[in-house]
């Protein structure tokens, strides 16, 4: 994976910047992918929130015949359990930690920062957030799974043991099987994280009902 810093699509706070949401896209997409969701969110603190949508590095993806595309990590095989490049995950985690520190340097408290991610981005949001050594506001994990469940057992940070996790999935998802998402949820639940599960009759996407639930979650953790 490239060592360069991440470029980001940003939506600045329109009033005093008090909160930040760092939102990671899925495989083959870019930072613009979830930019359009912001106006659809009904957020109490909307004017005070800075949204950051990082662009994943472009790299070869094994399951896509080695084609180069924006990717947070390489996927080696597309079986139900998915073999992934764990080293790539750690490199992406380090980059997202850098973005969190950028917000901290702007004077934003860690407990006012949410990490969100879709699919591959959700994997990175979970791993980064649960191992970060300052308490975050919450983690939103959409249409995703958890290839690092084993590593988390020893790498989790106590500071985020009580951090709320919103996990959501489409019941008809042909890309990330709902079974492995449910397994991820069960693993996190077994580790005593305050996690909520939401499913919707959709494929590998986002739906209106889910956006309403995400808004509710953000309002609650930023209250």
175-189 residue pLDDT tens: 999 999 999 999 999
Specify if 2 maps to a domain: no
Annotated active-site residue in 204, 205, 213, 215: 204
- Specify if 190 maps to a domain: yes
Q: What is the mean pLDDT of residues 95-113?
A: 98
173 is catalytic: yes
Residue 137 has what pLDDT? 98
Domain annotation covers residue 137: yes
Please tell me the predicted confidence (pLDDT) of residue 78.
77
Which of these is catalytic: 30, 74, 88, 173? 173
> What is the overall mean pLDDT for the chain?
95
Range of the domain at 129: 8-221
204 is an active site residue: yes
How many domains does the chain fold into?
1
**150 is a domain residue:** yes
Query: Residue 223 pLDDT > 60, yes or no?
Result: yes
Percentage of the chain exceeding pLDDT 90: 95
Phi, psi dihedral angles at 76 (to 5 degrees): -80, -40
Q: 85: domain CATH number?
A: 3.40.50.1820
Half-sphere exposure of 62 (CA within 13 A, CB side): 12
pLDDT score at 82: 74
In degrees and rounded to multiples of 5, residue 87 shows phi and psi of -60, -40
- Of 90, 71, 14, 24, nearest in space to 52 by CA: 24
Q: Write down the catalytic residue from 20, 71, 92, 119.
A: 119
- Is 191 inside any structural domain? yes
**pLDDT class of 13 with cuts at 50, 70, 90:** very high
Catalytic (active site) residue 32: no
Segment 190-200, tens digit of pLDDT: 999 999 999 99
Q: What is the pLDDT of residue 4?
A: 66
What is the mean pLDDT of the segment spanning 154-159? 97
pLDDT in tens, 26-62: 999 999 999 999 999 999 999 999 999 999 999 999 9
Q: Reply yes or no on whether the pLDDT at 2 is more than 50.
A: no
Q: Note whether residue 46 is domain-resident.
A: yes
Query: Which token pair is 56?
Result: 């994943």
Residue 9 to residue 23: CA distance in whole angstroms: 10
Whether residue 79 is contained in a domain is answered as: yes
**26 backbone φψ class: left, alpha, beta (φ>0; ψ -120 to 50):** beta
CA dist 190 to 14, 72, 77, 153, 154, Å? 40, 26, 27, 11, 14
Top pLDDT among 148 and 78 is at 148
Check pLDDT > 70 for residue 202.
yes
């Amino acid at each position: 994976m490239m060592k360069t810093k991440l470029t980001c699509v940003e939506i600045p706070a329109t009033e005093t910047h008090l909160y930040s949401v760092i939102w990671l896209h899925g495989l083959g997409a870019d930072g613009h992918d979830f930019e359009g969701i912001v106006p659809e969110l009904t957020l109490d603190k909307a004017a005070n929130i800075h949204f950051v949508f990082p662009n994943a590095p472009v790299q070869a993806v094994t399951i896509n015949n080695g084609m180069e595309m924006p990717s947070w990590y390489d996927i080696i095989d597309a079986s139900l359990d998915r073999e992934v490049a764990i080293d790539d995950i750690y490199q992406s985690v380090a980059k997202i930690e850098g973005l969190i520190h950028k917000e901290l340097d702007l004077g934003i408290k860690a407990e006012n920062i949410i990490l969100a991610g879709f699919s591959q981005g959700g994997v990175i949001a979970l791993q980064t957030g649960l191992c970060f050594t300052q308490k975050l506001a919450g983690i939103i994990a959409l249409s995703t799974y958890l290839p690092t469940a084993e590593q988390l057992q020893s790498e989790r940070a106590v500071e985020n043991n009580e951090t709320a996790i919103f996990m959501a999935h489409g019941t008809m998802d042909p890309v990330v099987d709902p079974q492995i998402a449910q397994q991820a949820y069960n693993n996190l639940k077994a580790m005593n994280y305050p996690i909520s599960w939401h499913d919707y009759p959709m494929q590998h996407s986002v739906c209106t009902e889910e956006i309403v639930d995400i808004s509710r979650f953000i309002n609650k953790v930023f209250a």
